[in-house]
Structure 1
Amino acid sequence: MASTDAPDIGPIIQRERKARHLTLERLAALSGVSRSMLSQIERGESNPTFAVLWGLTQALKIDLADLIAGGVAHRRAAPVDVVTVPLTPEINSPEGHWRLRILSPTAMAGRVEWYEVEIAPGSRLHSAPHAAGTYEHLTAQTDGLRVKTALGEQLLGAGETARYRADVEHEIANDGQLPARALMVVVYE
């Protein structure tokens, strides 16, 4: 394959799907990609968008980079896997009011995820409801954080952990005068 050729990902997707004993229908349900689109991709008749590839790699729990490189690497794990600070993904609010550093591996997305949360004074991180049965566990590292859900609210002190349903509207607010920090674990049921 020349370096300018697109990788032939259809057979890789099909191989990984079959290795997991998934039908086209089941992978379509897990990934959000229609069965007909998935079939076209596997046969090499469709060129998927990034969003489609992301959905498929998340559903199959494979690394997007490995898929694009032409195959899923089955390499021996290092005794200690380190993700450096520059390679730790972040989600930032457009206004700079909050930051989420994604600490969990991408393969766990949609099952269990953990984040380092930082919220500016007087700001809040508002979230729409997640999937049914989802819970968040927020451990405050500083004072001033307040968790509010459609079912109630609670102010947290440093070191306290709030556990709450996240399948309803919810937010984490910083009522303090200094930036607030916390660790958050999201568990999808």
Structure 2
Amino acid sequence: MNEEEVLAEFRAAGALLEGHFILSSGLHSPRYLQCARVLMDPARASRLASALAATMPRDLRAAIDLVVSPAMGGVIIGHEMARALGREAIFVERPQGVFELRRGFRIAPGQKVLLVEDVVTTGLSSREAMKAVAEAGGEVIAAAALVDRSGGEADLGVPFFPLVQLAVPTYPADSLPPELAALPAEKPGSRKAA
């Protein structure tokens, strides 16, 4: 699946939004990709996950023991990636503001993990989730995401495989361009900005 085909899936789902958005990172942006909308169709989610899995080298795919995603945004795509790879999927949550395993999920010592996100902007959530995996005994050997909003700037410390890479501008709240500042801000993400 090429970039235009991926974006066509987002457009078809009404998931490529224009306006003034406050991202989970706290940054502001004129565009937002609502992955929950694109993933609400199981057939579309399966197509996107299969395409995402195909971006990774065969030997890497074979080395993965477990798929881990951060809740909430990564749960569906993580599950679909696990299906595409023939592996199990679990997720980490932030009940007290820090990612941790819950619900009886366990990671065996040394288990090779693929971390899967819906969207990566700064990489903060990914790095926090990777820390939780390491604390549980796992080893994150790669990361994947439907969308890399960083334009390739996010450093996750492991090989990173996004399905599509976009350079969408982001701005701190005190440095908004006038045309963005003139629009009412929406916060469609799942994490409260700090």
| TM-score normalised by L of structure 2 | 0.24
Which fold has the larger relative contact order, with Cα–Cα distance below 8 Å and residues 6 or more apart in sequence?
A: 2
Rg bigger for which structure?
1
Higher helix share: 2
